[in-house]
Amino acid sequence: MRVIATAGHVDHGKSTLIRRLTGMEPDRWAEERRRGLTLDLGFAWTRLAGEQLAFVDVPGHRRFVPNMLAGIGPVPAVLFVVAADEGWMPQSAEHLAALDAFGVRHGLLVVTKADRADPAAATTAASREIAQTSLGQVPAVAVGGTTGAGLDQLRTRLAGLAAGLPPPDPGADVRLWIDRAFTIKGAGTVVTGTLGAGTLRVGDELTLGETHVRVRGLQSLGEAHESVSAVARVAVNLRGVARDAAERGDALLTPGAWRTTAELDVRLRGTPAAELHRHLVAHLGSAAVPARVRPLGLDTARLLLATPLPLRVGDRGLLRDPGEHRIPAGFDVLDVRPPPLARRGAARARGTELAAPEPGWDLLRREGFVRHDDFHALGLPEAGERLGGWHADPAHLARLREEAPRVVVGWTREHPNAAGMPVDVLRQRLGLPAAELVQAILADGLAASGGLVRSPGAALSADVERALAVLEKRFAGHPFQAPEADELRELGLGTRELAAAVRLGRLSAVADGVVLCPDAPRRAGEALAALGKPFTVSEARRALDSTRRVMIPLLEHLDALGVTERQADGTRRVVGAANPAYDD
C-alpha cells in the first residue's frame, strides 16, 4: 500500500478529486457535506496498477491548518491541488511551506477545474513555487471540474508516483502517530494513523504514553488483518484503554525503542533563530505542541516542548505561529538528549558544537558512557568502545584507568584494615553509571572480587599484623582451636580486621566470629579421611582436637564445600578429601 495526502487552498477541489478517483466520500461529518467544506481529515482508497492507494484528504481553510498538518506530517507523498480559475492562493503557499518543512520529497501537481479556465498559467505558477521546495520538479496533470477529462492521465501519473516511493522497512520500530481516536460499542478504543515503518500484529504489546497496551484487532482499508506492514493506513483496536487515554498527536510505540523528550536541539530551515518568536507551536507527526524557542546559533535552537514526544535524531518538524497564520520555519532534529544550558555562555558554546555535529560521538564524549540500546533509541550511529551493554569514549576510559589506582590507594589509606574498597564506592567516586563498568577501568594490578576492589600488595596495619602473629603461633600447635570473642577483642581484631585478613588469605572463616588458620579446611578433610569410616561430630571433635563450638560450623562448611557428606543416620563421611576445590 501507498499513502498519499492532498494539499492545497480551500475550494480548489481536493475532496471532489478524491471522490472521483476512489468512488468514496472522504468527508466524514454531516456538517462537512452540508457546507461543502472539509473541516477535518478524510480517508479514502482505491487500487491502481495492482497497488493499493490510500488518501488522506486535508482541509484547505486556514482555520483548520492544525488538522491539515496532522494529516500530512506522517505521509511520504502529496497530491498538490491548484484550481485553474484561481491559481496560486494564500493557503497554497502555506500548505507548500508545511510540506517543505516536513521534508516531503514525492508529489504530483493536479490543476483542477481545467474546464473553467486555461490551466497553463496555474500550472506554470504552481510548478515554479513547488520547484523551490523539498518536492522539487514534480509532474503536473490538468483535470476538468465537471467533465472528468484528464482523470485517466492522473491515474497513470499516480501509479508512477506510487511506484517511485522508497520501500518501507517492515522490521523497523513502530511509531504510529494517531490522527483519530474513537470508541466502538463492544470493541472499545480504536485509533487510526499512517504506519510509516514497521509491522503491527494482533497481540502485539505497545506503549501509549506511560501505559502498556495490547493490540486486540487490526483493520486496513476496511478489512480485518492479523498483521499490517508499512506503509499503510491502519485502525488499531486497543485492549483495556479508555477513550480519553488516546488522542490525536499521541503515538503507539514499540516498547523501549524510543526516546520521549521535551527538550531537543534542532537545525532550522527558513527564518533565522534570532528572528523567531520565543513561543510557537511545534508540529511533529500528527502532534501539535506549544514550544519555547531558545536560539543557539544562526540556524540552531533549543526547543522546549510543553508535552514530551517520542523523537529521534533525523526527525523533521515545523514551527507555526498560530496568531499570524504562517509557518516561519521547518527544523531537523539534531539531539534529543541535549546538555543543560545552565552556565553562562553555554548556549553560544552549544551553537558552535552544533555547527559541525558528529552524530553519536557528540553524545559519547559529553557523557563518557552511553548504553548500547540508547544509540538506536536516539537515532544515532554507534560510537566508541563496546563494553558489554555500554559504549565508552576511549579518551574518557583512559583517564579513568589512570585515576582508578589513585582512588583505590587513597581509600585504602583511609581504611587500612578493610578487606578492599567496595565496588560501588569506587563506581560513585569515578562517576561510572553502572557497577558492571568497574571491571573495564581496572588497571595497574587492580583486581575485583566479592564486591571489593584491591590494589596489588595490599597490606594490613602493623597492629593487625602483630595480632595475627599471635594467632599463627597458636594455630601452629592447635590448628582447630579457634580463639574466643574476648581474645579476638583483646587482640584488636574486630569484624573489619578479620574480614581483611580472610580476604588476604591470612585466616579462614568457617562462621561468624569463628576463624582458623588459612589451610584449616584442607587439613580437616585430610585428618577426617584418615579415620577410614563414617564419623559423628564427637568423633570428629576428638580427631581434630577441637571444641563443639568450632566443630559444628566447620563440618557444615566442609559439607558446603563438598568435602564431607551427611548420612541418614546423622554421621558423615569424607567424599572429596582429594579434591583441591575445598582449599580456601
**pLDDT > 50? residue 582:** no
Q: Tell me the CB-side half-sphere exposure of residue 464, using CA atoms within 13 A.
A: 21
CATH topology of domain 259-357: Elongation Factor Tu (Ef-tu); domain 3 (2.40.30)
Q: Are 8 and 92 in contact (CB under 8 A)?
A: yes
From start to end of 84-222, where are the E strands? 106-112, 140-142, 175-184, 188-195, 199-201, 205-208, 211-220
- The predicted-structure confidence for 425-451, as pLDDT tens digits, reads as follows 999 999 999 999 999 999 877 887 768
- The predicted-structure confidence for 47-60, as pLDDT tens digits, reads as follows 998 889 999 988 87
Architecture of the CATH domain 2-163: 3-Layer(aba) Sandwich (3.40)
Considering only residues 91 and 456, tell me which one the structure prediction assigns the higher pLDDT: 91
**pLDDT > 70? residue 29:** no
**pLDDT > 90? residue 227:** yes
How high is the pLDDT of residue 169?
93
CATH top-level class for 462-582? Answer: mainly alpha
- The predicted-structure confidence for 513-536, as pLDDT tens digits, reads as follows 899 998 999 999 999 999 999 999
Q: In the structure, what pLDDT confidence band is assigned to residue 26 with cuts at 50, 70 and 90?
A: confident
Task: Break the chain into its structural domains and give their ranges.
Answer: 2-163, 175-253, 259-357, 358-458, 462-582
Cis (ω within 30 of 0) for the bond into 231? yes
175-253: CATH number? 2.40.30.10
Q: In the structure, what pLDDT confidence band is assigned to residue 203 with cuts at 50, 70 and 90?
A: very high
Considering only residues 546 and 30, tell me which one the structure prediction assigns the higher pLDDT: 546
What average pLDDT does this structure show over 249-276? 94
Q: What is the DSSP string of 425-466?
A: HHHHHHT-S-GGGHHHH--TT-EEETTEEE-TT----HHHHH
How high is the pLDDT of residue 36?
63
According to DSSP, residue 575 is labeled: S
Would you say the pTM of this structure is higher than 0.85? no
What average pLDDT does this structure show over 538-565? 93
* Rounded distance between C-alpha atoms, residue 342 and residue 344, angstroms: 7
What average pLDDT does this structure show over 242-265? 92
Matching fold, domains 175-253 and 259-357: yes
Q: In the structure, what pLDDT confidence band is assigned to residue 466 with cuts at 50, 70 and 90?
A: confident
Average pLDDT, the chain: 90
- The predicted-structure confidence for 478-511, as pLDDT tens digits, reads as follows 999 999 999 999 998 888 888 878 877 788 898 8
The distance of Cα 501 from the centroid of its chain, to the nearest Å, equals 46
**pLDDT > 50? residue 584:** no
Phi and psi at residue 353, to the nearest 5°: -60, -40
**pLDDT > 90? residue 385:** yes
Helices 90-102 and 65-72 sit at what angle, rounded to 10 degrees? Answer: 40
3-state secondary structure of 173: coil
How high is the pLDDT of residue 319?
95
* Rounded distance between C-alpha atoms, residue 321 and residue 316, angstroms: 17
Q: Are 369 and 437 in contact (CB under 8 A)?
A: yes
